[in-house]
Chains A and B, each alone.
Chain A
Amino acid sequence: MNQPNKGFSIREMIETNKKKKYSTTNVFDKVMPFLLFLSAFVSVVTTVGIAFTLGFELFKFFERVPVAEFLGSTEWYPLSADQRFGVWALVMGTLQITVIAMIVAVPLGLASAIYLSEYASERARTILKPILEVLAGVPTIVFGFFALSFVTPILQALIPGLQIYNALSPGIVVGIMIIPMIASISEDSMSAVPKKIRDGALGLGATRLEVAIKVVMPAALSGIIASIVLGMSRAIGETMIVTIAGGSQPNFEFNPLNAIQTMTAYIVQIAKGDAGYGTIEYYSIYAVGALLFIFTLVMNLFANWVTRRFREEY
């Protein structure tokens, strides 16, 4: 019965709506995806901005200081009359902090992760995990204050001859800062190991400890390695703790009892002072920053690669 429809027909409505090319709905549907793409593209622009900034100023730095000196010398005296720019002195400071931090963070972080994923009851987990998250949320300036005003005096009482500014105290505190990161990433990957595998091992008579060490940890190895590498990358890039408690004496020797200067602390020292725009010191912070960026980028890419390449699929 093809009765002419005078009042209301959905089919007609759809037809007329299709013809209205510039209705608000249509315009939004055309324009919004593009605007959203632009906001996603901001992250790419940021990366390009970082590369451009560091590269450009690095170039200006190398116009004034030869690459061979920067990468080949171990003396860093940017503020003396006879300026020296051997970056290894700063890298050594960063290396000391990273090594000490890892000695603290890896055992404690992994122990926390194993306890949370293999031993803790569901109730204990819901209480303990948020506390770890709180530790992860403490600003680094607070950890810096803690290192200088609490950890250093204790260490000085224990170790005679320890300077006020040293590598040991900030190293330990950076390690404490990283514990939650290693613990939570490792715990995630250990919890992802299927219960079946654990039950199999337990059924064969293994103890919980043996299950944790010989079954779960190997299965979760990619996540554990990634957590450690990401933790190292955080330690390398950490700024305020080492600026406050590490001192400002770059030197190329591995002695955690002496004052040091890390790459990050040097950048802060120059930025905070009045190094005028265009001086060699000003450009040197970009050179150090570029090296820092490359170190952390390589480690982050490596962590991503390990996670993807060696992930165990069940």
Chain B
Amino acid sequence: MALPNSEFKNTKNLMDRASVSQRIKRRLQLNEIFKYVFLAGLVFALLVLSTLIYDVVSKGGGWVNLDFLRNFPSRRPEQAGLYPALIGSLWLMMLIVPMVFIVGVGAAIYLEEYAPKNRVTSFIEVNISNLAGVPSIVFGLLGLTIFVRIMELGNSIMAGALTLGLMSLPIVIVASQEALRSVKMELRHASLALGASKWQTTFNVVLPSAIPGIITGIILAVSRAIGETAPLIMVGAATFISTTPSSVFSDFTALPIQIYNWTSRPQAEFQNLAAAGIIVLMTMLIIMNSAAIYIRNKYTNRH
């Protein structure tokens, strides 16, 4: 319903039609411009990611081959490989997974299924969220004093795994708690109503329905741990090693340590070796993360 022109003339000194429409136009323009400004922020992050990948692949791509995976580190770049580092990282993974699974999931079950709502419980919860924010190098200092010196594990795989395990624990606990929380109450009630005890319900009903979420959390936490360098430097992972570990108490090296070692050498060849090492490490992480995403997508919303 268009207003007659005369009425507009009356309100002219209150509202100027031209200036109002110009103002609206400017606001809409600003809106349009900022849409792309915000998008640019996001695109920049993605651009950096692709540049990073391009940089690493262009420098190290030609160096990754079977010999690189099978050889020991060497002073001659063309013969150098990361076999002991790869094995060391796999050892670490094999030790960290059961550790964080038992302790992390245990803690999550306690907090979600058993814990009374009291001060002790809320203290534990606050404590876990604070531990998640402690820098990894501080965990390294803890590992150096407690595991390497006091428990006399030396610069062993065990000391490294325990340190990284403690570091990943908060992530595993929080992820497992979320997985347990998403299990429907009806399921628990049904099980209890059929006469199952609390523990039977937890172990046979709740845990199986939460396990995909728990496994996803563990994979993500362990892939974070495997990429960590600083705590391993603190517990004294060797930079040069001529044998593969024979037990959990052997000296060891790991992929990030080997990459760091090559990065800190000035010659271009070693920079390329570092890039090649990064390709191997990132490939491992991508495989683990894809598995986590696959499990998450396959089992979500089933219950």
Q: A: which residues have CB within 8 A of B?
A: 14, 25-26, 28-29, 32-33, 35-44, 46-47, 49-50, 53-54, 56-57, 107-112, 114-116, 118-119, 128, 130-132, 134-135, 137-146, 148-150, 176, 179-180, 183, 207-210, 230, 233, 236-240, 243-244, 264, 267-268, 271-272, 277, 285-286, 289, 292-293, 296-297, 299-301, 304
Contacts and interface: CB of A to CB of B under 8 A. Distances in A.
A244 B259 CA distance: 11
A296 B135 contact: yes
Contact of A42 (B107, B138, B271, B282): B107
Contact of B278 (A111, A145, A148, A179): A145
Given A41-B124, A49-B146, A237-B137, A176 B166 contact: no
Contact of A289 (B128, B138, B199, B236): B138
A43 B137 contact: no
A108 B40 CA distance: 8
A36 B45 contact: no
B233 A292 contact: no
B234 interface: yes
Nearest to A31: B199
Given A150-B55, A267-B141, A304 B106 contact: no
Nearest to B289: A137
Interface stretch (B6-14, B64-72, B110-118): B110-118
B27 A142 contact: no
A111 B146 contact: no
The 4 closest A-B pairs by CB, nearest first: A237-B135, A111-B41, A139-B227, A39-B106
Contact of A180 (B27, B45, B115): B45
B259 to A, nearest CB: 5
B278 A237 contact: no
B146 A300 contact: no
A1 to B, nearest CB: 26
B131 A43 contact: yes
Interface residues of B, number: 88
A49 B138 CA distance: 11
9 contacts: A50-B134, A50-B138, A110-B41, A112-B38, A115-B41, A139-B227, A141-B260, A141-B281, A146-B56
A264 B230 contact: yes
Contacts of B45: 108, 112, 132, 135, 176, 179-180, 183
A40 B124 contact: yes
A111 B130 contact: no
B278 A46 contact: no
B141 A286 contact: yes
A57 B144 CA distance: 12
Contacts of B123: 44
Interface of B: 27-28, 30-31, 34-35, 37-42, 44-46, 48-49, 51-52, 55-56, 59, 102-104, 106-107, 109-111, 114-115, 123-124, 126-131, 133-142, 144-146, 149, 166, 169-170, 173, 195, 197-200, 202, 220, 223-224, 227-230, 233-234, 236, 256, 259-260, 263-264, 271, 274-275, 278, 281-282, 285, 289, 293
Given A43-B124, A44-B127, A116-B42, A142 B52 contact: yes
Contacts of B149: 277
A297 B170 CA distance: 15
B128 A43 contact: yes
Contact of B263 (A112, A145, A233, A237): A145
Given A107-B41, A145-B56, A210-B31, A42 B134 contact: no
A293 B134 contact: yes
A285 B141 contact: yes
A267 B234 contact: yes
Contacts of B111: 40
A40 B170 CA distance: 10
Contact of A112 (B31, B41, B220, B293): B41
Contacts of A138: 49, 52, 227, 282
B145 A53 contact: yes
A36 B110 contact: yes
A46 B166 contact: yes
Nearest to B40: A111
A240 B230 contact: yes
A184 to B, nearest CB: 11
A25 B202 CA distance: 12
A76 to B, nearest CB: 17
Contacts of B106: 35-36, 38-40
Given A41-B124, A112-B42, A267-B141, A146 B52 contact: yes
Given A47-B127, A149-B274, 20 more contacts: A25-B199, A26-B197, A32-B202, A36-B107, A38-B106, A43-B170, A50-B134, A131-B46, A141-B259, A143-B52, A145-B56, A176-B45, A180-B45, A209-B30, A230-B133, A237-B138, A239-B230, A244-B264, A268-B233, A300-B133
A50 B134 CA distance: 10
Given A36-B114, A40-B111, A115 B38 contact: yes
A154 B224 CA distance: 29
Nearest to B107: A40
A57 B200 contact: no
B229 A137 contact: no
A271 B278 CA distance: 23
B229 A239 contact: yes
A50 B106 CA distance: 22
A53 B142 contact: yes
A107 B34 CA distance: 13
A116 B42 CA distance: 9
A127 to B, nearest CB: 10
